[in-house]
Amino acid sequence: MNTYNELHELAQTRKRKLGNNTYLVVRDDGGYGIRLHDTEIAIHYKDKIVLNTGGWYSHTTKSRMNEYTPFNIYQKNWEWFVNDKPYKDNMVIEVA
């Protein structure tokens, strides 16, 4: 599940737990958040996705971002990248 439409379909069901400590959040602004512990690590909108580690640059955070977004998020020399661009918290990526 890594698109707005897939998350929208899931939100219509009662299933909101996606994995260990990972939940789907229906936001008041029309977006769908992927919450890991207390941080929405990815927020899907129809035209964009917002990424945020909340300061937790962990293997699990990166793994969940890869699982629930269409992007390739990886680490090289202690620095994170999203599709070969340097990562920063609250990064907004336009999607078609």
Of 35, 93, 96, 91, residue with least CA distance to 64: 35
* Burial status of residue 71 (CB atoms within 10 A of its CB: 0-12, 13-18, 19 or more): buried
- Interval 23-79: pLDDT, tens: 999 999 999 999 999 999 999 999 999 999 999 999 999 999 999 999 999 999 999
Tokens for 27, please give them: 């936001």
Give the CA-trace dihedral at 39, 42, 16, 60, to 10 degrees.
-70
d(CA 10, CA 6): 6
The pTM score is 0.92
Query: Rounded mean pLDDT of 4-25?
Result: 92
Residue ranges of alpha helices (H) inside 27-85 are 59-68
